[in-house]
Structure 1
């Protein structure tokens, strides 16, 4: 870690991410205050239970956020990408320990900013704090919606919605389809939709037979977004 990385304050970040909601001046301030770090595939960004004294803003790459149950089983909670902030809850709650583990899906580069430096900057640039609260609120709202959907929609509907969301935030066009840029196991997809791996496997098989989806080893390609959107709407 610790490799110097070039940055641009006028870079366009994905909509809804933390950096996309900041002014150019605020982005420059947080870039200059943070240390630029690189994580390899086998290096954790955070480990659940470790001391929490800084947050990270992802520059490139994808990271998986997981948490352990009392039995020790790990569950995938979310996937974060360029422009996203992670480790912010421990800063806002002033919690001394990490509540989740964050692992890179490949290589990740980020800006590392101490909690103290961040809140000092937020006094000079109020939109740093405002944007952070917006991001946290959006995450909490998404979690609430997911809990409601578990009791309202079938696995196939929930899976279609998750696949479309992942395609919008983590996908790239390829050969007439959209390839997801993060490798996900069926167990991880099942965790994202709060379903059993068997139910998710059944839904994926249905989507493949209908020509909506292609899958290989830890690789998913959306072939028919219109049809998947119909499923996501409950059709």
Structure 2
């Protein structure tokens, strides 16, 4: 669930009014790791990719986020530099809100509780992802991850859902602790079952429920 789900509509509308509407072209940065946290961005259109650069210089994709998300709030609230970078996957539209304005709105609209629930939900999602990385076989790991992305950032077209990944197979494998070759092979297995179709930087999930059912059936077989 994104931040919009936790905020009453009047407060959400005021958040948008407190910022400047901006458009971002594909691959454009919305914010970059290490920068001063002088604003937050409320995303209202498009998909973004969150990445982190290691000390060795490796860029690690962390997550994809979609409309209704709040970006950069941790650095603003803690008065710390950006801990990650955010890049537009496709054309995105967001409202950039100055840090002081955002902090004032949080206090005036009593949004601390919403921010806490939002952060807790993200923490639980991270725990579930890490648990899957530790315990699940590769095909289950991939199926769970694609199901999550389809629900979070998928673009519905009838029964199917398109996920704009904004990353190649090597990056996708990195997110799931797989090699590029293993990621390709695992996607091929799901494709052969008719659960997904693969494009260069997008994946179409034919039926989210079927993908979820496959996961549960495979898990029962493993157990």
How has the CA–CA distance of structure 1 residues 25 and 88 changed in structure 2, closer, same or farther, with 3 Å as cutoff? same
- Give the SS at the match of 2:194: coil
1:118 matched to which residue of 2? 102
C-alpha separation in 1, matches of 2:13 and 2:210: 42
State which drifts further: 183-192 or 160-169.
Answer: 183-192
- Which consecutive residues of structure 2, in runs of 5 or more, have no partner in the other structure? none
Give the alignment's Cα RMSD to 1 decimal. 1.8
1:146 to 103, 123, 129: 129
Higher helix proportion, which one? Answer: 2
Structure 1 length-normalised TM:
0.85
Correspondent of 1:59 among 19, 39, 44: 44
Q: Which of 47, 58, 81 matches 2:32?
A: 47
Aligned to 2:62: 77
Which deviates more, 79-88 or 43-52? 43-52
Matched, 1:210 2:210: no
Q: Are residues 1:18 and 2:8 paired?
A: no
State the Cα distance separating 1:192 from its structure 2 match: 2.8
What is the TM-score of this pair, normalised by structure 2? 0.89
Tell me whether 1:129 sits opposite 2:112 in the alignment.
yes
Aligned-pair CA distance for 1:74? 0.7
SS in structure 2 of the partner of residue 45 of structure 1? strand
3-state DSSP of counterpart to 1:179: strand
Runs of 4+ in 1 over 4 A off after TM superposition: none
Q: Distance in 2 between matches of 1:158 and 1:69?
A: 24
Output the CA distance in 1 between the equivalents of 2:207 and 2:3.
30
> 2:138, 2:129 → 1: CA distance?
12
Residue by residue, what CA displacement relative to the aligned partner does 1:75-134 show, whole Å, maximum 9, x if unpaired? 110111111001011022221x111111101221111112211121122211x2221222
What are the within-5 Å matches in structure 2 for residues 29-44 of structure 1?
A: 29-44=14-29
1: CA distance, partners of 2:19 / 2:202: 34
